């Protein structure tokens, strides 16, 4: 009757497996850690988006944007013959920026020159004095003019460092072939990483300054507009209009990892488009990691973002502090590689410990024309199973039964 002695053990193991299978996935579940028999690995928090998601939140960052172009005496124009301490500056005196004063990630700020009647001009041009310092190849300041009601770039975008103030000179940017009245602006755009805010690019007073903004007739010399910024400034700072909050839970077996639900940043009515100028963040609830010795973030994310002009950022913060950039992705270039764009390999957050709480933020960003259809005819990103796991400080039971139980979730 030896099998009668074994039967209780088998029944106990079966009960352990059954009870574990029914456990809530958002609870801390112990896992056997072979590297340290006196500690256990746990899921501090696990959400497959199949239950209550009220702890999550989303925000349309464009709804709260305020213009960064402003009048300032900081790093004023020092060119010979220039007088007056004021200039237009797209930047911040910000003591919280890791790189000091300058600019932040994901900025889209404009300084408009009021519509100017140049019908009588033979050859109207735009000139100014300026300086710039922004991440080369990624963060740009454009000079733009309306052409057929649409702003087009007059330059290839100032980036890198100008090395100080420069004078565009008497030749400037011709306006004779564009809309009349002439409508111009300066526009600064930064991508999702490497700026003064995260300290990965430490600018010298970035992003952009301008002064003595002028529109005049090159041949006749008639001045139609001049802003020396000394009497309050005539140019007009602005930001894009609010793009809306597009994060929501969808029920779709085809677009979810663990069916049928996942988060989606996209349009239910037109799955081939995400609106332009989007800056839309999805946040997990704060997760308790106060007992963590190690911590790893894992998630499943699927992107259909056809061009490199649109992308998404992965950030975390601890104890409600500053957000830390983990990844900045730009387009899948119509490869639509499914859930390959995922964090299943994990981001090790152990260096940020000790901490009481951690929180994840995923931000979708699009350009002026929005995010067009991908290879599968859709556009957007899905986020599904998301979890934080790591080694817990509590010791497991010293009995052999305690060790056996840790083999099972």
Query: Quick one: pLDDT at residue 142?
Result: 98
Element (H, E) at 213: strand 208-217
Sequence-distant (≥ 6) Cβ neighbours of residue 198 within 8 angstroms: 98, 99, 105, 324, 325
> How far is the C-alpha of 262 from the C-alpha of 90, rounded, in Å?
38
Element (H, E) at 9: helix 2-21
Query: Quick one: pLDDT at residue 11?
Result: 41
Element (H, E) at 402: helix 400-405
pLDDT by position in tens, the chain (length 409): 333 343 443 344 344 334 333 332 333 344 444 444 445 678 999 999 999 999 999 999 999 999 999 999 999 999 998 889 999 999 999 988 999 999 999 899 999 999 999 999 999 999 999 999 999 999 999 999 999 999 999 999 999 999 999 999 878 999 999 999 999 999 999 988 899 998 999 999 999 999 999 999 999 899 999 999 998 899 999 999 899 999 999 998 777 889 899 999 988 776 677 888 889 999 999 999 999 999 999 999 988 887 777 889 999 999 999 888 898 888 765 555 566 656 788 999 999 999 999 999 999 988 887 777 665 556 788 899 999 999 977 654 443 333 333 334 3
Q: What are phi and psi of 318, to 5 degrees?
A: -120, 135
Query: Quick one: pLDDT at residue 20?
Result: 36
What are the sequence ranges of the domains in the chain?
Answer: 13-62+243-392, 66-238
Integer-rounded Cα radius of gyration of the chain: 28
Half-sphere exposure of 256 (CA within 13 A, CB side): 18
Of 24, 107, 114, the closest CA to residue 62 belongs to 107
> Which phi-psi region, left, alpha or beta, contains residue 160 (left: φ > 0; alpha: ψ -120 to 50)?
left
Of 186, 212, 224, the closest CA to residue 90 belongs to 186
Query: Quick one: pLDDT at residue 28?
Result: 39
Query: Quick one: pLDDT at residue 323?
Result: 87
For 66-238, the fitting CATH number among 3.40.109, 2.60.120, 1.10.1200, 1.20.950 is 2.60.120
Of 174, 265, 251, 172, the closest CA to residue 210 belongs to 172
> How far is the C-alpha of 233 from the C-alpha of 236, rounded, in Å?
8
User: Are domains 13-62+243-392 and 66-238 of this chain identical in fold?
Assistant: yes
What dotted CATH number matches 13-62+243-392?
2.60.120.200
Element (H, E) at 2: helix 2-21
Sequence-distant (≥ 6) Cβ neighbours of residue 241 within 8 angstroms: 62, 277
Residue with tokens 């519509």: 115
Give the C-alpha distances (Å, rounded to integers) separating 86 from 168, 209, 227, 294. 18, 10, 11, 51
Q: What are phi and psi of 311, to 5 degrees?
A: -165, -170
Query: Quick one: pLDDT at residue 341?
Result: 56
In Å, how far from its chain's centre is CA 324? 11
Q: What angle do CA 116, 120, 126 make, to 5 degrees?
A: 45
Q: What DSSP character marks residue 376?
A: T
């Amino acid at each position: 009757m030896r099998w009668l002695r074994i039967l209780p053990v088998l029944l106990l193991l079966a009960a352990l497996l059954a009870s574990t299978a029914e456990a809530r996935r958002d609870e801390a579940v112990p896992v056997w850690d072979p590297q340290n028999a006196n500690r256990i690995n746990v899921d501090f928090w696990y959400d497959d988006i199949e239950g209550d998601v009220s702890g999550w939140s989303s925000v349309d960052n464009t709804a709260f944007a305020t213009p960064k172009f402003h009048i300032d005496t900081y790093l004023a124009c020092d060119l010979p013959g220039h007088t007056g301490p004021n200039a237009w500056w797209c930047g911040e005196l910000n003591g919280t920026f890791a790189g000091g004063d300058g600019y932040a990630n994901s900025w889209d700020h404009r300084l408009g020159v009021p519509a100017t009647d140049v019908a009588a001009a033979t050859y109207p041009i735009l000139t100014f004095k300026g300086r710039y310092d922004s991440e080369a190849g990624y963060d740009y300041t454009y000079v733009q003019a309306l052409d057929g009601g649409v702003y087009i770039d007059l330059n290839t975008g100032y980036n890198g460092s100008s090395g100080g103030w420069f004078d565009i000179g008497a030749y400037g940017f011709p306006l004779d072939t564009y809309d009349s009245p002439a409508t111009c602006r300066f526009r600064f755009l930064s991508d999702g990483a490497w700026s003064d805010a995260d300290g990965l690019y430490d600018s010298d007073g970035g992003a952009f300054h301008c002064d003595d903004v002028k529109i005049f007739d090159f041949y006749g010399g008639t001045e139609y507009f001049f802003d020396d910024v000394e009497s309050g400034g005539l140019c007009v700072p602005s930001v894009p209009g609010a793009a809306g909050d597009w994060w929501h839970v969808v029920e779709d077996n085809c677009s979810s990892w663990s069916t049928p639900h996942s988060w989606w940043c996209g349009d239910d009515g037109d799955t081939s488009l995400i609106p332009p100028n989007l800056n839309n963040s999805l946040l997990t609830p704060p997760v308790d990691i106060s007992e963590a010795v190690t911590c790893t973030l894992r998630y499943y994310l699927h992107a259909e973002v056809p061009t490199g002009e649109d992308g998404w950022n992965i950030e975390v913060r601890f104890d409600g502090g500053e957000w830390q950039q983990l990844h900045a992705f730009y387009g899948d270039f119509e490869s639509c590689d499914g859930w390959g764009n995922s964090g299943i390999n994990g981001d090790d957050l152990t260096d940020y410990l000790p901490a009481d709480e951690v929180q994840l933020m995923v931000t979708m960003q699009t350009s002026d024309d929005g995010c067009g259809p991908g290879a599968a005819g859709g556009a957007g990103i899905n986020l599904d199973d998301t979890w934080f796991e790591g080694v817990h400080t509590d010791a497991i039971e010293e009995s052999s039964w305690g060790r056996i139980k840790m083999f099972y979730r």
